[in-house]
C-alpha cells in the first residue's frame, strides 16, 4: 500500500519500482479472468464479422458486447457495464435484428455476405492491428492499473461526476438525441408505408438511452 500511495502522488516516478512488484509472468486472478473473457470477446467479434449467416452475426455480436460488459466489471466500472448490457444487448442488437428482418436478410448461409473487397480489408486491418498493438504494447508495457480500494466506476461515483462536472454536455447530448429522433422519423417517413416502423424503433432506442 505504501508503494501504491507513492504511485498515486507521482505516477511516472513509481512505474519502475511498481514493475518490480508486479511480475509480468505471474498474473493475478483478475488478469487471468480478463484475459479469458477478452479471448471470448475477441473470438465472438471475429465470428461476427466473418460468419456467413447474418442472424448469427447479430447473435455473436450479443456475445461480444456481453463479454465487453464483463470486462467493464473487471475494470470496476459497474455502472457502464450495466448500461452496456441494457442499451447494447437490450436495444441495439434488437434494433439490428429488426433491420435485418425488414431488409429481408436471408436466413441461413448466404454465400455473398462478404464483398469482393475482403482481401484488401484483411490486409488493411491486419496491418492496422499490428501497428496499433505494437505501439500500445510498447507504450504501456510498464504501466499498471491499481484496482484495489474503492471502485472508481460505481453508480454513485459516476452519477456524482456526471451531474457535477458533465451536466452541460449531458444536456447537449439530450438535444442531439432529439435531433436524431426527428431525423430518423423524417428519413423513415419518406415512403408513407414504411415510416412508422423506423420512427417507433428509433423512439424506443432513444428512450432506452435516457
Partner 1 sequence: MHLAYPAVLSALLFCTGLYGVLARRNAILVLMSVELMLNAVNLNLVAFDAWLSRAAEDTLHSGQALALFTIAIAAAEIGIGLAIVLAVYRNRGTSDIDRLRDTAEGHDPDDPDSDATGREAPAPRAAGEKAEATA
Partner 2 sequence: MTTTTLAVLVPLLPFLGAIAGLLLGRTAPGFVRPLAVLPTLVSLALAALVAARQGGDGAVDAATELTPTGSVPVELALHIDGFAALTAVLVTVVAGCVQIYSTGYLRDDPRYPSYAALVSLFTSAMLLVVYSGDLMVLLVGWEVMGICSYFLVGHYWETPEARAASLKAFLVTKLGDLPFLIGLFALATDAGSFRITRILGAVANGGIEHPTLVALLLLAGVAGKSAQFPLHTWLPDAMAGPTPVSALIHAATMVAAGVYFIARLLPLFEASQAAMTVLAVMAAVTMAGSALAALAQDDIKRVLAYSTIGQLGYMTGALAVADRGAAVFHLLSHGAFKALLFLAAGVIIHAAGTNSLAAMSRMGHLRDRVPDAYWTMTVALLALAAISPFSGFFSKEAVLGAAEHVVTGHTGHAPAAAGWIVLLAGLVTALLTAAYAMRLWQLAFRGHGTEAPDHGRQPLTMTVVLWVLAVPSLALGGLAFRVLPDWFDGRDLTPTLTTSVLGTGVALVGGIVTYATWRHTTAHAAARVPLGAVAAHPEGDAARVEAEAIAAHEPAYGDIAYAPDPSDPGRLLLGPLHRHAAAGFHLDAVYSALFVRPVRAGASLVRFLDREVVDTYVRGAGTLPRWLGAAVRRAQTGNLQTYVSALLAGTVVLAVAAVLAATGA
> Considering only residues 93-152, where is the footprint of partner 1 by CB under 8 A?
95-96, 98-105, 112-118, 120-122, 124-126, 128-129, 132-133, 136-137, 140-141, 143-147, 149, 152
Question: What is d(CA 58, CA 73) in angstroms, rounded to the nearest whole number?
Answer: 23
Q: Is 36 in the site for partner 2 (CB under 8 A)?
A: no
Collapsed DSSP state (helix, strand, coil) of residue 171: helix
Q: Is 135 in the site for partner 2 (CB under 8 A)?
A: yes
Phi, psi dihedral angles at 63 (to 5 degrees): -60, -45
Q: Is 70 in the site for partner 1 (CB under 8 A)?
A: no
What, of partner 2, partner 1, none, does residue 76 touch, CB below 5 to 8 Å by kind?
partner 1
Least distance between partner 1 and beta carbon 100 (Å): 5
Question: What is d(CA 56, CA 73) in angstroms, rounded to the nearest whole number?
Answer: 26
What, of partner 1, partner 2, none, does residue 105 touch, CB below 5 to 8 Å by kind?
partner 1
Q: Is 136 in the site for partner 2 (CB under 8 A)?
A: no
In this structure, the number of other CB atoms found within 10 A of the CB of residue 173 comes to 13
> Among 3, 11, 101, 120, which residue sits at the site for partner 2 (rule: CB under 8 A)?
120
Residues 6+ away with beta carbon under 8 Å from 27: 35
Which C-beta is closer to partner 1: that of 17 or that of 197?
197
Least distance between partner 1 and beta carbon 112 (Å): 6
In this structure, the number of other CB atoms found within 10 A of the CB of residue 85 comes to 17
Question: What is d(CA 121, CA 197) in angstroms, rounded to the nearest whole number?
Answer: 33
Amino acid at each position: 500500500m505504501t508503494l501504491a500511495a507513492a504511485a498515486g502522488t507521482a505516477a511516472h516516478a513509481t512505474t519502475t519500482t511498481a514493475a518490480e512488484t508486479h511480475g509480468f509472468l505471474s498474473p493475478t486472478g483478475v488478469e487471468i479472468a480478463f484475459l479469458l473473457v477478452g479471448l471470448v470477446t475477441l473470438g465472438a467479434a471475429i465470428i461476427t464479422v466473418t460468419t456467413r449467416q447474418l442472424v448469427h452475426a447479430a447473435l455473436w455480436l450479443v456475445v461480444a458486447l456481453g463479454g465487453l460488459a464483463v470486462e467493464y466489471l473487471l475494470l470496476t466500472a459497474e455502472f457502464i457495464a450495466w448500461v452496456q448490457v441494457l442499451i447494447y444487448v437490450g436495444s441495439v442488437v434488437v434494433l439490428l435484428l429488426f433491420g435485418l428482418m425488414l431488409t429481408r436478410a436471408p436466413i441461413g448461409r448466404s454465400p455473398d455476405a462478404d464483398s469482393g473487397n475482403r482481401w484488401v480489408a484483411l490486409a488493411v486491418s491486419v496491418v492496422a492491428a499490428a501497428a496499433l498493438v505494437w505501439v500500445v504494447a510498447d507504450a504501456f508495457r510498464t504501466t499498471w492499473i491499481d484496482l484495489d480500494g474503492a471502485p472508481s466506476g460505481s453508480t454513485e461515483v459516476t452519477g456524482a461526476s456526471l451531474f457535477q462536472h458533465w451536466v452541460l454536455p449531458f444536456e447537449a447530448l439530450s438535444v442531439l438525441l432529439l435531433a436524431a429522433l426527428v431525423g430518423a422519423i423524417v428519413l423513415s417517413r419518406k415512403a408513407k408505408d414504411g415510416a412508422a416502423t423506423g420512427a417507433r424503433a428509433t423512439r424506443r432506442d432513444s428512450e432506452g438511452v435516457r
